Structure 1
Amino acid sequence: MSDIEIVSGYDAILALEPVWHDVGARVGGAGAFERFDLVRQAAESISREGGEPLVASISRDGVAMTFLPLRRERIIGSRAAVPLAYPLAQYTNTVGWAITPNDMRPLCNALSKAGLDMLLLRKVREDSGLHDALATHGQSQNAAETALYIDLNAYKTFAAYEASFSNPTRRNRRQRRQKLEAARGPLSFEVLFGSEATDAFDTALAWKRDWLATRGISSPVFDGGAWERLLRSTVNSGAAVVTALHAGGAATAIEVGFCERDTYVSYLGAFDPALGAFSPGQEQMLRTIAWAFEQGFSRYDLLAPSDGYKRQWARAETGVAIDDYAVALTPVGRGVAELRRHVRPLARDIYFRLSPEVRVAGGRYGMPAAAAMAAVCAGAVLAAIE
């Protein structure tokens, strides 16, 4: 029989640290987005802003088995438990053993007693410790995507992986590399950690912000706010990997990634827009993949969505399905979950169908056009439900 406890508040979560490490060690370590240092900083940041961080703790026979980090959030008037480190975290998972379908009912009862209407978990992988329980008891939020990855074990060596590309592709890469060196100087590549990675991270961040701004796309992480500060802190602590391609001593392309057991997670890539014609991002990524082979990783995770360029890197349809799931705890939560699963995909589709010029103009006047359209869609669905 499982014993469920909802741990609330920064101090209470901080006290979990030794048990957290022990629970994670039993399954080979916590995932990239469930490491205690990230959870601690996220909980501290949320508490500082007046929010409430939570951890669902599952024990069996008095032994802690599973932790699920959450936070309390208002969603369309409902009181929801959402992933603690989202949107910085690109996956939601447990620490320790999986939450089974049989665990879900007592977990929901505990969350309901804590005054919550809904459990909303974003970006849940099909191979995660949450999927079976949510597939049984949860409701898909129509956010299905595929997180592609490069199966490094399938190639054994970087040379074999590189040889899997066509001759024209390899020739084009070589020519662009030679043109970049002719224009800017010899290429060099480095892998950075901790304080040595700070300058490269800031450069990548500036490039990423410019890229988003020119397309009229807002980001809840790369906006100078709390999540961006947390990402910077993670980089500075040495918990992230920063790889950088230089030409003539100047940075041309940079990537931020995480190591998760036998997987390298490619989190953020950016390049100098002035050098776009030379495709420095491709060269940087190719060298990072070579480094991943050297380190003995079995996967190079490209994250969702499954864009066309990622399919080229994956070389095969190797990927993991992910989705958002909601579990209603009250009638209010049930209504919001049903509304959200219809409105959010429609609003997102409308938003990305808008031209970059319209998105930029909308943001400039304080109310993106997509937000207004989403409100119209929400009203239509609400009318249909009522």
Structure 2
Amino acid sequence: MSLATATASTVSARLSTASLKDNSAPERTAPHGNADTFAADAPIEFTLITTRDAFDALEDEWNALFARAATSAQVFQTFNWNWHWANHYLSGAPGGMGGIGLCVLAGYRDGKLVMVWPLVRERVRGIAQIFWMGEPVSQYGDVLIDDLPDALPALKDAWNYLRKHARADVMRLRRVREDARVAPLLHVIGASASNPQRAPYLDLASAENFAAYEQRYSSKARRNRRRFMRRLEEQGHVSFARIHGGAEARAMAERAIDMKTAWLASRGLFSQALADKRMRSFFADVADAASHPTGCVVSSLTSNDDVAALDVSFACKGRLAVHMIVFNLAYEKAGVGGLLMEHCISDAFDEDIATFDLLAPGDAYKLEWADSTIGTNDWSQALSLKGSAYVEIYLNRLRGQIKSTLASVPKSLRKRLNSFLP
């Protein structure tokens, strides 16, 4: 892949309510005060962040914006999450691959950061694309924006700025929730939606405690889990652990990647993202939490000191996003995944978690636990004639057909062919 790191240029333009400026670094100090004290017609100045130093300089302002305006579902839009991602996936990072460059759009009103589009840019087979910073590890993508009285017009101006200055052929935004802050804009600009999924979640706020909450599950399901627990205890000592950072969390996160890979292989499946060594090192670092903590919690179930099941989740503003829950294939018939899930839900009540988010896709086992679901979509929008052809011919027509065909290809060929599918 060719290097696609965007360079910064200085541009000033007026788009309805926005005064726009493109620089490689924000040279401002954010004043105190809330976004709702600003007049709706105050200009927004946009800055395109294209260097690592400029991204790092955003830390304090990004964190302040997130603290006052982000929803719990924006767990993957924290500065710390994206800081770790940049350490592993950005061009120039140790172990990283050339071609992925920053294209973060920051919007300022009255000198205060009020909007962040966490984007990167990459050229793949001649097509320059902008997409969410955090792929493929992020499970939801969104724009951070203050509670502005003119939020949609401000987002439109941001979109117009990207069209002019991102130097891209297409924008691809994956895993956008129906309630995402950016969702109304995507409808307005006529972006194409694809790959609809459901993200199941548990509404823990609907019950006072776990004992009350679990009554919504059938008596048969609860009896089955108790039976699995008795049988496991008959084999020896069973223990649960909840680990917040450190060397043990790091080792267990790496083990979870190995377990997930083994499970996929046992079913003739392959994940390009999991096979990438960068994902393993990313999860190791966020679990360790030696710097820039992301709210990572690693939970384990062990039988006679043998790891039977693992859960890697991320806590944010009362939400726990369950990124991975995996089991040792040696315990496949022992129900250890369900036992660990039950224990994690119980622990979540103790940690004041209101939403236990199982994330997309809406697999059958998740739906058995969930109270409800919310939809997600992948969105694409062309920014050039070449991008239009790519969206209409490849993304909207051919890609889905190719993926369906690959599902029927023998496992020995599927792994090699998947690597050619952008």
| TM exceeding 0.5 | yes
Work out whether residues 103 and 166 of structure 2, in 8 Å CA contact, stay in contact via their aligned partners in 1: no
**What is the percentage of aligned positions where both structures have the same residue?**
27
Correspondence for 2:399: 344
Work out whether residues 215 and 359 of structure 1, in 8 Å CA contact, stay in contact via their aligned partners in 2: no
What TM-score, normalized by structure 2, do the two folds share?
A: 0.80
Query: 1:363 Cα shift?
Result: 4.2
Query: 1:264 Cα shift?
Result: 0.5
Q: CA separation in 1, counterparts of 2:161 and 2:410?
A: 42
Work out whether residues 197 and 235 of structure 1, in 8 Å CA contact, stay in contact via their aligned partners in 2: yes
Pairing 1:280–2:336 present: yes
Aligned residue pairs, count: 364
Pairing 1:39–2:82 present: yes
Query: 1:300 Cα shift?
Result: 0.5
Q: CA separation in 2, counterparts of 1:218 and 1:268?
A: 16
Partner AA of 1:310 in structure 2:
K
Correspondence for 1:291: 347
Partner AA of 2:389 in structure 1:
G
Q: Please give the per-residue CA displacement for 1:58-108, whole angstroms capped at 9, x wherever unaligned.
A: 222332101111111224532111111111101101234379442344323
Partner AA of 1:256 in structure 2:
V
Q: CA separation in 1, counterparts of 2:156 and 2:144?
A: 19
Q: Structure 1 stretches of 5 or more lacking a match?
A: 376-386
Pairing 1:200–2:252 present: yes
Q: CA separation in 2, counterparts of 1:13 and 1:359?
A: 43
Map 1:290-369 → 2, pairs under 5 A: 290-314=346-370, 316=371, 318-339=372-393, 340-352=395-407, 354=408, 358-363=409-414, 366-367=416-417
Q: CA separation in 2, counterparts of 1:345 and 1:257?
A: 30
Cα 1:273–1:98 change in 2 (3 A) is farther
Q: Structure 2 stretches of 5 or more lacking a match?
A: 1-16, 18-43
Q: CA separation in 1, counterparts of 2:134 and 2:347?
A: 28
Secondary structure in structure 2 of the residue aligned to 1:134:
helix
Map 1:180-199 → 2, pairs under 5 A: 180-183=232-235, 185-195=236-246, 196-199=248-251
Alpha carbon RMSD of aligned pairs, Å?
2.3
Cα 1:83–1:359 change in 2 (3 A) is farther
Q: CA separation in 1, counterparts of 2:113 and 2:343?
A: 41
Map 1:132-211 → 2, pairs under 5 A: 132-183=184-235, 185-195=236-246, 196-211=248-263
Query: 1:205 Cα shift?
Result: 1.9
Secondary structure in structure 1 of the residue aligned to 2:62:
helix
Q: CA separation in 1, counterparts of 2:257 and 2:103?
A: 30
Query: 1:247 Cα shift?
Result: 1.7
Correspondence for 2:39: none
175, 191, 197: which is aligned to 1:123?
175
Query: 1:206 Cα shift?
Result: 1.6
Cα 1:363–1:342 change in 2 (3 A) is closer
287-296 or 92-101: bigger deviation: 92-101
Correspondence for 2:320: 264
Secondary structure in structure 2 of the residue aligned to 1:267:
strand
Q: CA separation in 1, counterparts of 2:319 and 2:219?
A: 28
Query: 1:216 Cα shift?
Result: 3.1
Q: Please give the per-residue CA displacement for 1:116-158, whole angstroms capped at 9, x wherever unaligned.
A: 1222111001111111111211423321111110111223321
44, 56, 64: which is aligned to 1:22?
64
Correspondence for 2:115: 66
Query: 1:259 Cα shift?
Result: 0.4
What TM-score, normalized by structure 1, do the two folds share?
A: 0.88
Correspondence for 2:133: 84
